[in-house]
Amino acid sequence: MKLKSVGILLLASLPAVAHHSFAAEYDTKAPVALSGVVTKIEWTNPHIYYYIDVKDESGNVANWAFEGYPPNTLRRVGFSRDLLKPGDAVSVTGWAARDGSKRAASRELTLSNGRKIFSGPPAN
Amino acid sequence: MNMLRASVILSGLTAALLLGQDAPPAVTSPAGAGAVASTVPNLPSTPAPRLPDGKPDLSGIWFGGGPVGDLALGLPKGEKIPLLPSAEKIMQSRLSKDDPEANCLPTGVPRTAPYPWTFATAPGRLYMLFEGNIHSYRQIFMDGRAHPADPNPTWYGHSIGHWEGDTLVIDTVGFNDKFWFDFRGHPHTERLHTIERYTRKDFGTLVNQITIDDPGAYARPFTVTFNARLMPKGEMMEYICQENNQDVSHIKGPAGVP
């Protein structure tokens, strides 16, 4: 789909589409960069969530939740829920939750085929 | 409002203007004060289309047109919001997690959510349909009636509208005091009275000049201006915020951060 090829450019220009204050939930001074395997996708409003199992150096696995754009925002630039599937190996950058839980706002998502997209808004 | 005519106009321009399949749209810079969608392309400053009766055609899918993060962004340069001390105290006590919008409740007036919206008409009625926060509508009576003497306090209030030249004027009272004007938590009371003046300045821009009069929270009436931008190839989509709202339990700190 041609739209997908320009998706990253379009998403780069999207405003912080959120129904809540970004900085009240995520720490813009706490960037995260994690890699792991997708365990679950919630293609829901008001935001999508995807969960990945992240293994640390000791082999311990923690499940992280990444918040993204609303489904409508992603749909408008050509992405549907088949963007991710359980079992996909992905890398994500974003910002950690302020409450210390294993949650983050997602920004750049690198898919298992190497393609990079913005799955969430920039920090403001 | 003549939707058919509008759609013909839009489809005629679509190929040349926007969200093309082969090229990303140009990105607009904020035009004028306030929150403006950067998702929509620059559109030529062609005149606003008109209906057969000569009125400006306001149909189409709009984005923005009210405060999101900070009401003060809509003020003329150098002006300050004339908060009464009691209102300032309320604002300072507010926590971000309690923002009704974060809790999937309506934005009220004049706040806008960062989601598309559109006008729809029926005889004697004008409706504003909102995709997001919440997936709801405002009803504006265009049949010349007055406000009721004792309206039920509601999130969107009781609205009556009329045209003044090329400007749609919407007068609203009967608000509840529950919604916030922005992420910063600018408050109001049930005495709030808003006058919105919508002018389609050109094809792609709908200017909303809003006078806020609330002697319970502000020392004097004041006016803010925000621009809505047309999403010419846009469509309204379903958005049910309550579906999976995980945010509130993780939101920390006072209102005021963007």
Task: Dump pLDDT digits (tens) for A73-119.
Answer: 999 989 999 999 999 999 999 999 999 999 999 999 999 999 999 99
Burial class (CB in 10 A: 0-12, 13-18, 19+), B45: exposed
pLDDT at B58: 96
The secondary structure element, H or E, covering residue A67 is strand A61-67
Q: Please, are residues B65 and B227 in contact by the beta-carbon 8 Å criterion?
A: yes
State whether residue B182 sits within 8 Å of chain A by CB. no
Q: Read off the pLDDT of residues B179-193 as tens digits, 9 standing for 90 and up.
A: 999 999 999 999 999
As a whole-number percent, the residues of chain B with pLDDT over 90 amount to 76
- Residues of A in Cβ contact (< 8 Å) with B101: 19-20
Q: Residue A19: which of B21, B39, B101 has the nearest Cβ?
A: B101
Bridge-based pairing state of the strands B222-230 and B205-213 = antiparallel
The C-alpha of A75 sits at a distance from chain B's nearest C-alpha, in angstroms, of: 10
Pairing of strands A103-110, A61-67: parallel
Tell me how close the Cα of B150 comes to any Cα of chain A, in angstroms: 32
Contacts of B243 in chain A (CB under 8 A): 44-46
The rounded distance, in Å, linking the Cα atoms of B196 and A27 is 36
Residue tagged 């502000």 (tokens): B218
Domain span at residue A66?
A: 2-15+31-118
A64 inside domain = yes
Kindly tell me if the per-residue pLDDT of B103 is higher than 50: yes
Helix (H) or strand (E) holding B6: helix B3-17
DSSP secondary structure code for residue B168 in this structure? E
Report the DSSP beta bridge partners of residue B81.
none
Distance of CA B188 to the CA centre of its chain: 17
What's the mean pLDDT in B93-99?
Answer: 96
Residues A35-57 have a mean pLDDT of 97
CATH number of the domain to which A97 belongs: 2.40.50.140
Count of all residues that appear for chain A in the document: 124
Q: Given this model, what pLDDT does residue B206 score?
A: 97
Question: Would you call B223 helix, strand, or coil by DSSP?
Answer: strand
3-state secondary structure of B98: helix
The pLDDT of residue A24 is 87
* 3-state helix, strand and coil shares in percent for chain A, rounded to the nearest 5: 20, 40, 40
Q: Does A100 touch chain B (CB under 8 A)?
A: no
| pLDDT band at B234; cut points 50, 70, 90 | confident
Answer with the residue of higher pLDDT: A77 or B13: A77
- Assess whether pLDDT exceeds 60 at residue B3: no
Query: What are the pLDDT digits (tens) for B113-156?
Result: 989 999 999 999 999 999 998 999 999 999 999 999 999 999 99
As a whole number of angstroms, the distance between CA B25 and CA B9 comes to 19
Stretch (H or E) spanning B16: helix B3-17
**How far is B113 from B101, CA to CA, in rounded Å?**
8
Average pLDDT of the residues in B165-171: 98
Question: What is the complex's ipTM, to 2 decimals?
Answer: 0.81
pLDDT at A67: 97
What local confidence, expressed as pLDDT, does residue B42 receive?
63
Residue B12 has pLDDT above 50, yes or no: no
Residue of A nearest to B253 (CA): A24
Closest by Cα among B129, B136, B139, B109 to B236: B129
Spatial CB neighbours of B189, under 8 Å, sequence gap ≥ 6 = B177, B214, B216, B217
Whole-angstrom distance, CA of residue B240 vs CA of residue B257: 25
Taking the CA atoms of residue B72, residue B99, residue A75 and residue B62 in that order, the dihedral angle to the nearest 10 degrees is -40
Cα B39-A43-B68 angle, rounded to 5 deg: 40
Of B27, B69, B96, the CB nearest to A13: B27
Predicted confidence at residue B257, as pLDDT, reads 66
**Over 90: is that where the pLDDT of B29 sits?**
no
CB nearest A99 (choices: B38, B241, B250): B250
Cα torsion B137, B106, B164, B11: sign: negative
Q: Please tell me which residue of chain B has the smallest CA distance to A43.
A: B244
Pairing of strands B222-230, A89-97: unpaired
Quick check: B114 and A42 CB within 8 A?
A: no
The 10s digit of each residue's pLDDT in A20-34 is 788 889 999 999 999
| pLDDT for the residue B15 | 27
Structural domain boundaries in chain B: 3-242
The whole-number pLDDT of residue B258 equals 65
The answer, for A30 touching chain B at a CB cutoff of 8 Å, is no
Residue numbers of A between 41 and 60 with CB closer than 8 Å to B: 42, 44-47, 49
Going by the DSSP 8-state scheme, the letter that residue B36 receives in this structure is B
Amino acid letter, residue B126: L
What are the tokens at B45?
Answer: 């400053």
- Point out the residue among B24, B115, B252 whose CB comes nearest to the CB of A24: B252
The count of residues in chain B is 258
Task: Give the number of domains in chain A.
Answer: 1
Q: Which of A16, A19, A45 sits opposite B102 (nearest CB)?
A: A19
Chain A residue whose CA is closest to B102: A20
pLDDT, residue A42, reads 97
> Do the chains contact at B132 and A44, CB–CB below 8 Å?
no
Mean pLDDT of B29-56: 62
B44 band by pLDDT with thresholds 50, 70 and 90: low
Q: Write the pLDDT tens digit of every residue in B240-257.
A: 999 999 988 899 889 986
B104 reaches A (C-beta below 8 A): yes
Distance between CA B67 and CA A13 in Å, rounded?
Answer: 19
B23 vs A: CB within 8 A: yes
CB contact under 8 A, A98 and B131: no
Please list, in sequence order, all residues whose beta carbon lies within 8 angstroms of the beta carbon of residue B256, skipping any fewer than 6 positions away. Answer: B96, B183, B184, B185
User: Would an 8 Å CB–CB cutoff place B98 in contact with chain A?
Assistant: no
Of the candidates A3, A97, A101, the beta carbon closest to that of B21 is on A3
